[in-house]
Amino acid sequence: MIFRKRKPHKTKQTPDINSDNHADDSDQKLSNDLEQNVQKIQKSLGHSSDLIIRKIPYGPANGRMIAILFIDGLADGKVINDYIMESLMQKEEEDIDSGSQKAVSSSHIIQRLKDEDLTFGDIRDLTDFEKLYHSLLSGDAIILIDGESKGIIASVRGWRDRGVTESSIENVVRGPREAFSESLRTNTALIRRKIKDPRLWLESKQIGRVSQTDIGIMYIKGIVNEKVVGEVHARLDRIDIDAILESGYIEELIQDKTATPFPTVYNSERPDVIAAELLEGKVAILVDGTPFVLIVPAPFVSFMNAAEDYYQRTDISSFIRFLRYAGAIISLLAPSVYIAVTTFHQEMIPTNLLIGLAAQREDVPFPAFIEALLMELTFEILREAGVRMPKYIGSAVSIVGTLVIGQAAVEAGIISAAMVIVVSITAISSFVLPAYNMSIAFRLMRFPIMGLAASFGIFGIFVGCMALVLHLCSLRTFGTPYMSPLAPLVTTDNKDALFRFPHNWMFSRPRLSNDKNIRRQDHHDKEQK
């Protein structure tokens, strides 16, 4: 999708859509004439068949007509029938039967509707077409009264969504099973179930000239760094794009502008993970229509931690986290080390193993680098094919394809058996990383380091690793060093970095992500009790 970044000195213009009258109506107030308002709405929506308009007389307004407008499929039809139309009709009959049908003054009609006739939750005033279109197309019902230049917005959103299901990506052995859905309000409710504190604030925005996608910004007042909140608002306000269809749009548009394959915005579909990040003083960005919630700032260690690390015992969690870092190193360097050792440093290999490798490579026509490159590219193609194919056959095709191609390539003498083992270990290690986007970054960096190993041996690997470390240390995520608390070294924050200390030892929040309310728990008072 093509988008433009808005320049700071320009103001955001009203979107120019195919319908010229929509651009004009967005700045106009509602008319006193009900028919004129209804005709404008119908014309703006192209007389769409899913726009439902019901008109009923309203006795207290001298029998004037009331129009109820909603979009079929977005609004809850049962709520509209039971709590709006039936309520208004029943009120009309009661007034007629009692003989007390008195005309209500124009200034009191809207107030009577809100106070007596509409017996349900969220009701808001309406004065202009811009707000009318956004509410109508968001699933709300619009109530217009003949002779009134104001209307009422009734929140009756009731479209079908996937509901709260188990996470399909961030799986755990122990821990909550619920995951976010595509409904923004459902997602905010899941977070509030975890954090029942009035300081958990939610701020809303609409981004997208055409899509007008609802965006939610959640943080805990008094814990979050206010500078980070201000920076989040500033970056979101600079976005000028036709549509936001997934949180990936937001992630790409607000991330720190540095050429890097490493992600600087964290995302998760688990409410417990987002709640834990909020409690550390971070900011969550929720996008309507996607189950993935963004978290900023997002240092490197956040992508290496999993939700289950905090549900297991300390020793088990620390061991699993150590295996995770070891797997990341293996997935990055295993092919490069094999290439360097077999090409330049044969003296590092035990004699018996060297003889076996030499025998395997006797009929192989390619150098080790070409072997590794062919196998890595083949496996990446198979992995991507397994993701895109139907889920019932995708995993079978990827596994069978890998086994068949690997065995056939060894028997044909194209590659050696040792190379198949190295590439298999590398691929399996890449799945250890809990964050998929971080796993992709390691997979991408594997290829240039392989080239350095083929050119300069172990020295090339050392230079590549040093360049990678320097690059990571130069990154920032919303003003926070990307490698914190490792670089710069913050001793108190390292209790939950490479290893996880017991919960009663982690009595302070990360110092670089918030500047106040550092203490998570008062262990001194706890010990006295």
Instruction: Quick: pLDDT tens for 38-70.
Output: 999 999 998 898 899 998 887 666 678 889 999
Q: What is the pLDDT of residue 9?
A: 41
What is the reported pLDDT for 269?
Answer: 93
- Quick: pLDDT tens for 148-184: 888 899 888 877 677 788 887 888 888 888 999 988 9
Q: Cα torsion for 266, 187, 123, 32, to the nearest 10°?
A: 50
pLDDT class for 452, splitting at 50, 70, 90? very high
Strands (E), 161-262: 200-207, 213-220, 239-240
Q: How confident is the model at residue 474 (pLDDT cuts 50, 70, 90)?
A: very high
Tell me the backbone φ, ψ of residue 256, rounded to 5 degrees: -60, 135
In the predicted structure, residue 20 carries a pLDDT above the cut 50 = no
Q: Which residues contact 158 (CB under 8 A, 6 or more apart)?
A: 74, 75, 76, 77, 78, 79, 139
pLDDT band at residue 402 under the 50/70/90 scheme: low
Nearest to 420 by CA among 501, 523, 334, 519: 334
Amino acid occupying residue 185: R
Higher pLDDT, 303 or 3: 303
Which candidate, 214, 211, 218, 215, places its Cα nearest to that of 241? 211
Is residue 298 within 8 A of residue 266, CB to CB? The reply is yes
Residue with tokens 């899509």: 211
Query: How far is 497 from 274, CA to CA, in rounded Å?
Result: 18
Residue 276's nearest CA partner among 293, 257, 251 is 293
Average pLDDT across the chain, whole number? 83
The residue-averaged pLDDT of 364-369 equals 88
Crossing angle of the two packed helices 314-343 and 368-388, in degrees rounded to 10: 140
* Amino acid (1-letter code) at residue 60: P
Q: Which two tokens stand for residue 266?
A: 């964290």
pTM: 0.83
Better pLDDT: 15 or 160: 160
**4 pLDDT exceeds 60?**
no
CA atoms within a 13 Å half-sphere pointing along the CA-CB vector of 414: 12
| Digit-coded pLDDT (tens) for 87-97 | 777 665 555 55
Kindly write down the DSSP assignment for every residue of 44-113, as one continuous string: HTTT-TTEEEEEEEEGGGTTEEEEEEEEBTTB-HHHHIIIIIHHHHHHHHHHHHHT---PPPHHHHHHHI
pLDDT attached to residue 105: 55
Q: How many other CB atoms are there within 10 angstroms of residue 327's CB atom?
A: 21
Which of 118, 133, 156 minimizes the C-alpha distance to 30? Answer: 133
What is the distance of C-alpha 287 from the center of its chain? 7
CA distance 382 to 398: 5
Asked if the model's pLDDT at residue 525 lies above 60, the reply is: no
Which range among 10-14, 321-325, 359-363, 388-392 has the greatest average pLDDT? 321-325
What share of the chain in percent tops pLDDT 70?
Answer: 84
pLDDT score, position 514: 61
- pLDDT tens digits for 77-86? 888 887 788 7
